[in-house]
Amino acid sequence: MSRVFFLCKKSLYNVGFSLLLFYATLANASVRGSGLPDFAALFEQASPAVVNISTLASPKARPSIYGPGGEEIPEIFRRYFGIPLPDESPSGRSQPMSLGSGFIISSDGYILTNNHVIEGADQIIVRLSDRSERAAELIGADKRSDLALLKINNDRSLPVVKLGDSESVKSGQWVAAIGSPFNFEYSITKGIISALNRSLPSDSYVPFIQTDVPINPGNSGGPLFNMNGEVIGINSQIFTRSGGFMGLSFAIPVDHVMWAVDQLKEKGYVTRGWLGVAIQDVDRDLAESFGLEKPMGALISQVVPGGPADKARLHPGDIIVRFNERVISSSGVLPMSVGVIKPGEKARLEYIRNGKRKTADVVVGELPDENSGAPEHRGDKTPSDKNPLGVQVAELDENYRNKLRLDEDVQGLVVIGVNRGAGRSIGLRQGDVITDLNNISVTTVTEFKKVVAKLPRNRSISMRVIRGGNPGYITFRLQE
């Protein structure tokens, strides 16, 4: 009896052990079949076409902006230059500096990277996957989309990346980045697409792909791959409050990139469509005041005299809700939509005026760009950003006073745009009213330009700003 019992226990033990093995096998099979990606083949296939980019450049002082207490204020959106720029050597000679990544798009040596990676370089050096180095020629660059096209000469056919279709990507898909974070060459990181068509304050003409792929200094200019090993974007920026990766990285879509590459090859710069308007987002309160069911569209806050929108008889207060076939869900969508239209072409837009939907045909102009030498339609009331503050301002007319609920006795200039520069770093934004700069009252764009041109360097400068009806002073410094 005891023997039978022993045999039964042994049998039960064997059965239990078999079941454990069975479920473990099922679990392993489940993991293998769950769709979790293996990036080894992707890396092996794509990495030979990824390059490391370094430069020789004259040392430059790092610009710093300071707050009221003397503390340095970092930019929220940081472009990554790779390893920090070194101090000037005792001899004053340029120093080599590893800055970022890039990738080869044609076997004859055309390479794409970010403009901020090579900007200001005296010499650009490309290191290939076999560790050989080549001097690169800058074919063209576009600051607005942060793109640069390089060319190297080589005695053999070079490996190239496969280009994908960024229009077909979807949120939630796996992606991978290859680059040189902190100069650790050929590092691969992975993540998913978090969102599409993101508009960032620093680049309103690029419909960024947002991912959670870890991007660090040195990844800039490197490729973002889908699981087929195809490039769907160029890694360009991250969002950070700490200076390091925080789970939000942004890539320039490859379709937008190749649209720009054709122009960079042909003429060395990129031209974009232009409406000649200053716009702002429509929030819940504005939507209610304009009779909209929900916040949407791009609210025109100013029309450039003589510009395309002016000729199409658009007015401040009009809300653009559709441009050609694209719905303008927010103000950030409009510059992207207009920018890819060839100057001189006609476009149809829908807008809301006094609660009624209307349509207009507009001949798209050419966006003024300092690289192209295109003429700018500028009058005394026209926005200007040619200043170290990077701020576009306009005079307070009746329309602005009504929108901002300002009293008649308030004098100053309304901020209608903030680009790169001290203004963005100290937190200026659209709708702010600048009344005094460096202890001088400013009421016209001409006065503003004159004061800005004479701003001192390396000492505190005060600015009086009204935001939401509340005035206050902020301070900053401009470096030499």
Active-site residues: which are they?
Answer: 116, 146, 220
Which CA distances in Å does 372 have to 141, 143, 269, 270, 376? 11, 12, 7, 8, 11
Phi and psi at residue 149, to the nearest 5°:
-110, 120
Q: Give the phi and the psi of residue 320 in degrees, each rounded to 5.
A: -80, 125
Closest CA to 403 of 281, 293, 295: 281
Backbone CA torsion sign across 31, 33, 34, 39:
positive
What tokens were used for 362?
């507009």
Please compute Rg for the chain using Cα positions.
Answer: 27
Q: Under a CB-based contact definition with an 8 Å cutoff, are residues 59 and 86 in contact?
A: yes
SS3 for 308?
helix
> In whole angstroms, what is the distance from residue 302 CA to residue 299 CA?
9
Token readout for 351 is: 């807008």
- How far apart, in whole angstroms, are the C-alpha atoms of residue 147 and residue 113? 6
Read off the amino acid at residue 82.
G
Backbone φ and ψ of 264, nearest 5°:
-65, -40
